Amino acid sequence: MSHSLPQAPVPATPAPAHSNGIAVAGFVVALVAVALCLVPIVNNVAFLLALVGLVLAILGLVKARRGAPRRGLAVAGIILSVLAGVGVLASQAYYSSVIDDVSESLDDTPAAAATADDDAESAEPADDAAEDAAAEPTEEPTEEAEAGTRANPYRFSDTVGNDDWTIDLGKPREAWDDVRAENQFNDAPADGMEYWIVPVEATYTGTESATPWVELTVEFVGDDSVTYSDRCGVIPDDLMDVGELYEGGTGTGNVCLAVPAGAEGSWTLTAGWFSDPVFFRAKG
C-alpha cells in the first residue's frame, strides 16, 4: 500500500501595499512653501505652492482613509500649506506697511523752526516798498539758497526737526582735554586733527519710539569737501548712553568727532534713516 508524502503548505502571497506618493508630494510642496513664505517677491510663488500642496495633501488624506499609508504626512502637508498661506498674507501686509513708512519718511527732511519775529524783521512796510519800487528800476530778485544747505547753513541757535524729531545742536568745542580726562586710555587725535564735541538735545515727537544715537547722525564736512565721522573714544555724557525715547521724551548727550584742526567747514545732522542731512555753520 503506497503512502503519499504530505505537502508543505504554500504561504499565501501578501496583498501588495497601496502606495501614497501623492501625500508625500503634498508634504514636500507644503514644506517648500513654508520655507519661502516670508521672502519678499518670492512669497508670491510660495502662495501658489501652498495651494498646490494643500490640494495634494487633501487627496493623499483621502487615499489614506481608503487604506493607503502616509496618513501622518498628508495631515502634516495640510497644516503646513495653511501656515504657508497665512505667512504669505501676513508678510505681504507687513512689507506694504514698511514701504508706506519709507515713502512718508522720504518726504520728511529737517527744517528750521520759523518764528513770527523773524518774519517781522525781514518784512518791510507795504507803503515803503511801493515807494522804493516806483523810485528805483526793477531788478531781478536774487534767489537765496534753501536754508540748511551747504550754501546757506543753519546757525547752532536754530532748532530743526521733522515729524519724528525736534533737535537743538549746541555750539561745537575743541575737546581733547575733556576726552583725555574721561578715560586715560583714549588715543590722542592724529597729526593735523582735533577732537570736537557737539552737544545734542533731541525730543522724540513720533508716535512710536526711537533711540537718538541710532536715528540721529552728526558728521563734519571740511573745507576740503571730505566728510569726517570718526569718533573720539570714550567721552563724557555720550549720546549713546541715552536709551529709547517715546513720544514727548527728551534726551541730551554729546557727539565727538575727529576733524581737521580748527574745524573749518560745516557740521551736518541727519534725523532719520531716509532723511537728507542739513548743514550748520562750523562756528556759527
Domains of the chain in sequence order: 21-106 (no CATH), 159-281 (2.60.40.1240)
pLDDT band at residue 116 using 50, 70 and 90 as cut-offs: very low
> Cβ-count burial of 5 within 10 angstroms (0-12 exposed, 13-18 middle, 19+ buried)?
exposed
Q: Which residues in the chain belong to E strands, given as ranges?
A: 111-112, 159-161, 165-169, 173-174, 193-204, 209-210, 216-222, 227-228, 245-246, 250-260, 265-271, 278-281
pLDDT tens digits for range 179-228: 999 998 999 999 999 999 999 999 999 888 999 888 899 999 988 999 99
pLDDT tens digits for range 157-177: 889 988 889 999 989 999 899
Q: What's the CA gap between 91 and 35, in Å, rounded?
A: 13
pLDDT at residue 136 in the model? 57
Q: What's the CA gap between 71 and 57, in Å, rounded?
A: 9
**Contact indicator for 202, 216 with CB cutoff of 8 Å:** yes
Q: What's the CA gap between 215 and 220, in Å, rounded?
A: 17
pLDDT band at residue 33 using 50, 70 and 90 as cut-offs: confident
Q: Does the structure show a pLDDT above 80 at 154?
A: yes
Q: What's the CA gap between 76 and 61, in Å, rounded?
A: 10
**Contact indicator for 266, 279 with CB cutoff of 8 Å:** yes
What number is the average pLDDT over the span 75-85? 86
Which phi and psi angles does 44 have, rounded to 5°?
Answer: -65, -40
Backbone φ/ψ region at 248: left (φ over 0), alpha (ψ -120 to 50), beta: left
Q: Does the structure show a pLDDT above 60 at 15?
A: no
pLDDT band at residue 103 using 50, 70 and 90 as cut-offs: confident
Q: Does the structure show a pLDDT above 50 at 145?
A: yes
pLDDT at residue 195 in the model? 93
Q: What's the CA gap between 48 and 55, in Å, rounded?
A: 11
Structure-model confidence comparison of residues 146 and 100, the more confident one: 146
Q: Does the structure show a pLDDT above 60 at 243?
A: yes
Q: Which residue has the cell 551747504?
A: 150
> Which one, of 196, 222, 219, 224, lies nearest residue 268 by Cα?
219
What number is the average pLDDT over the span 223-245? 91
What number is the average pLDDT over the span 240-266? 92
pLDDT at residue 284 in the model? 57
What number is the average pLDDT over the span 135-158? 75
Q: What is the mean pLDDT of the chain?
A: 80
Q: Does the structure show a pLDDT above 50 at 114?
A: no
pLDDT at residue 8 in the model? 55
Question: CA triplet 236, 238, 241: central angle to 5 degrees?
Answer: 125
Question: CA triplet 149, 271, 260: central angle to 5 degrees?
Answer: 60
Under DSSP, the state recorded for 201 is E
Mean pLDDT lowest among 1-15, 21-35, 209-223, 255-269 = 1-15
